[in-house]
Amino acid sequence: MKNRKVIGAASAAALALGLMGTAVAPAAATGPETSYLVLAPQGKSTKAAAARVAAAGGTVVAAYNQIGVLVAKSTNTAFSAAVAGAGVESVASTAGLGTTLMDDEASDVVDSTTVEATGDPTAEPLWGQQWDMAQIDVAEAHAVTTGDPSVVVGVLDSGISPTHPDLASQIAFDQSASCIGGVVDTSVAAWSPTTSDHGTHVAGTIAGAINGVGIAGVAPGVKVASVKVVNDDGFIFPEAAICAYLWAADHDMPITNNSYFIDPWEFNCVNDERQRPVWQAVQRALRYSSAQGTLTVASAGNSNVDLQHKFIDSTSPNDGSSPIEDRTINGACRDLPAEAPGVVTVSAVGPTEQKSYYSSYGQGVVDVTAPGGDTRFRTNGAVSTLTDGILSTTYNTATQTNGWGYKQGTSMAGPHAAGVAALALSAHPGLTTGQLASFLERTATPLACPDGVFEPRPGWPATCTGGQRNGFYGAGNVNALNVVQ
């Protein structure tokens, strides 16, 4: 009411001035309703920023006071300029800043029989096709622990099927939510998959149940929470990711898995006026998350890019808003969240523990590697061998049927690392986020750089730098057995 009085008084004053011969300011032009991130100065209240949003003709739809960030909507085409001023550090429209999930090669559904559950992961019907689990010693780790159910891994993705036979018992329903639009919705329908089964596949790798059907996950004793950040058009917007980081941190999730990048430009440039507020808001959210005890695990990306030496981005934007173009970039441009401080960044390897042809890499950027699949290495890129991908849980959104199938990508490597982190925390409770990240690295199996230019698929060359810790594999391949001992 107070704001309306102020605005009314201002309008009356303008009318009086008009009667005295001074032109009345034109009404604000209106356009489509647009979402904005509005940042208060670091460490300051959002009260003044919220007042400026209202005065500029906007509505606050979510207030993340923990980090001084508001999500606002407005039809005022001059909203960004109008909201600027005391109490507002920066503002950015998120229109056009939606990115699609990382591309993953997928196969048809694989059938599973049902057998008697024995508690042994190797007795699961599809275990024989899970080369990835054997590679990181999952069965041996399960002889020590399958994970503690108090450990909940947040799957920031496209939703998890709540009816999947390998996942229904594994979901923390009370900690699951949708963050679409930057606004929390805890209804099951809101956080379930609608157009993509990507999150369902990721969840199975982390915690698929040992129940006599389908596959076994890395840590089937832990729980997963569906934190949906992918809208029905298949896009992830910055406000959804920020909402998800805070939801996970405030709802006792010690680990989150993030298989995406923020912004349709693969690299978010802090020296770009449009992108800077996004970078600032994401950084605040990630710092808060870490301080609350949440470790962020992120995929390195599927562009075969050296993240240490970025010069040309030839894969963006990936939202279909405009043609892909070559963009010169520098050290101010980073892949978010993979290159944010405190994040465990994961590259991908195939069945022979060589870098997957598509996996991005970079000395000092990649922390560890994990199985992500490589369907092209056997044929030098000629044809795809789908069984060299990662087998996990799937959900057909058209027919609403659950199943199992293969995908490949660093999106599949990330959940292996997240699952191993969950086992580590189960075996060694009390580890801080920094200690957990360090423990993952210290227990990884070192992998040496290949000699010369590595090009398992023609047209995808890469060069590895470093010694025992290197650009392809970081500290090495995560190992489930090593972290539980």
Q: What is the pLDDT along the chain (485 residues), one digit of tens a residue?
A: 333 333 333 333 332 323 333 333 345 789 999 999 999 999 999 999 999 999 999 999 999 999 999 999 999 999 999 999 999 999 999 887 777 766 666 666 788 888 888 889 999 999 999 999 999 999 999 999 999 999 999 999 999 999 999 999 999 999 999 999 999 999 999 999 999 999 999 999 999 999 999 999 999 999 999 999 999 988 888 999 999 999 999 999 999 999 886 644 455 555 566 677 888 898 999 999 999 999 999 999 898 989 887 555 555 454 555 555 555 555 556 566 766 778 999 999 999 999 999 999 999 999 999 999 999 999 988 889 999 999 999 999 999 999 999 999 999 999 999 999 999 999 999 999 999 999 999 999 999 999 999 999 999 999 999 999 999 999 999 999 999 99
| β-strands 453-454, 462-463 pairing | antiparallel
Segment (H or E) for 75: strand 69-76
Helix (H, G, I), strand (E, B) or coil at 153: strand
> Where do the CATH 3.40.50.200 domains begin and end in the chain?
105-484
Tell whether pTM > 0.85. Answer: yes
Intra-chain end-to-end CA distance of the chain, in Å: 62
Q: Where in the chain do CATH 3.30.70 domains reside? A: 2-93
Q: Which residues pair with 255 in a beta bridge?
A: 153, 295
C-alpha triplet 397, 194, 167: angle, nearest 5°: 75
**CATH fold label, 105-484:** Rossmann fold (3.40.50)
Question: Which residues participate in catalysis according to the annotation?
Answer: 157, 198, 411
- The set of long-range contacts for 49-55, using a CB threshold of 8 Å and a minimum separation of 24, is 49/83, 49/87, 49/88, 51/3, 51/87, 52/83, 52/84, 52/85, 52/86, 52/87, 52/88, 53/83, 54/3, 55/3, 55/6, 55/7, 55/82, 55/83
Cα 261 to Cα 102, 172, 404, distances in angstroms: 8, 25, 25
Q: Virtual CA dihedral for 137, 138, 140, 145, nearest 10 degrees?
A: 140
Q: Which CATH class is domain 2-93?
A: alpha beta
